[in-house]
Structure 1
Amino acid sequence: MSQPCIYCAQDERISKLMIEICKLRVSTVYLFREQSYPGRCVVALNDHAKEFFHLPQDTQDAFMRDVAQVAQALEQSFEPDKINYGAFGDTMPHLHFHVVPKYEGGHAWGRMFDMNPAENVQLSDEEYQERIVKILAHLQS
């Protein structure tokens, strides 16, 4: 039997990729450790589901409200020129959205964001914490 997905297992695989920020209505918000796109987050459904359309309508509505709430917090926190959304799941079939602030003249402007940019921008623990505090301030306002 293969390992459960990282969102369900909540093991070291997830902590290598992202840092939990908080829980919302039906999801958990994570700061993606790779920060080529300052503020990039992941919003993952708390219950395991492979497809958005498999969810009951009220859960669909709540999940998209969570995604919108995170996007708004990122806009207020980092003032991007645009926010991109990605929900692929080919290799990680647990419903989650990447919410990716994009900046004109910045990394991958004018094209789809890179899932794993070659630059692989990693921050110090203090820098991650600063971004999390900033996001939380706008999520809770």
Structure 2
Amino acid sequence: MKTFKLDPRLEADTLPLADLPLCRALLMNDARYPWVILVPKRDSVSEVFELSQEDQTQLWRETVALGAAMKEAFHGDKLNVATLGNVVSQLHIHLVVRYADDVSWPAPVWGNGSPEPYERALQGSRREQLLAQIEGLKL
């Protein structure tokens, strides 16, 4: 069995959170938003339809459960869920909690301003909040 390998760009732009049944959960290193990236632990997959039916179901289960928990925990106005893959072809799903007064609203987070990397203290706090949400998920 092959070992799962994370795309180097995702590895450089994120901080590790947890492994779910199907996905690796990563914290995007941009303190402007609560932003998690889910990456299915499957090699050579760039599109959802390349996953088995079982994995597609599990991917959606993890996305919906974590997204709902994030929106509630961070009191968001909106949850953005996206799979782009134009820069990083490895299949990954962005879950971004948005606020009507955030720096990019109502535009997408991509291409608006520069990421603000977490300082160690802030990263720990948000990471702990997200880990608490992940631990409470029924997956």
TM-score normalised by L of structure 2 = 0.85
What are the within-5 Å matches in structure 2 for residues 78-93 of structure 1?
78-93=74-89
- Please list every run of 5 or more consecutive structure 1 residues that lacks an aligned counterpart in the other structure: 1-6
Identity of aligned residues (%): 19
Question: In structure 2, do the counterparts of structure 1 residues 40 and 123 end up closer, same or farther at CA, with 3 Å as the change threshold?
Answer: same
Question: Match of 2:22?
Answer: 26
- C-alpha root-mean-square deviation of aligned residues, in Å? 1.8
- Aligned twin of 1:36: 32
1:101 is aligned to 2:121: no
Name the CA distance, whole Å, in 2 between partners of 1:139 and 1:108.
Answer: 26
Instruction: Tell me how far apart the structure 2 counterparts of residues 130 and 102 of structure 1 sit (CA, whole Å).
Output: 18
Query: Residue 130 of structure 2 corresponds to which residue in structure 1?
Result: 135
Match of 1:71 among 46, 67, 73: 67
Please state if 1:58 is matched with 2:30.
no
Q: Distance in 2 between matches of 1:126 and 1:15?
A: 20
Q: Measure how far apart 1:29 and its partner are.
A: 0.5
Q: CA deviation at 1:61?
A: 0.4
Query: What displacement does 1:30 show?
Result: 0.5
Counterpart amino acid of 1:91? V
Which AA in structure 2 matches 1:40? W
Give, in whole Å, the separation in 2 of the partners of 1:119 and 1:56: 36
Relative distance call for 1:84 and 1:9 in structure 2 (3 A) is closer
Structure 2: stretches of 5+ with no match in the other structure: none
CA contact (8 A) 2:7 2:88 kept: no
Provide, for residues 34-88 of structure 1, a one-character-per-residue CA deviation record: whole Å limited to 9, x for no partner.
1222x11101111121110111110000011111122122113211000001101
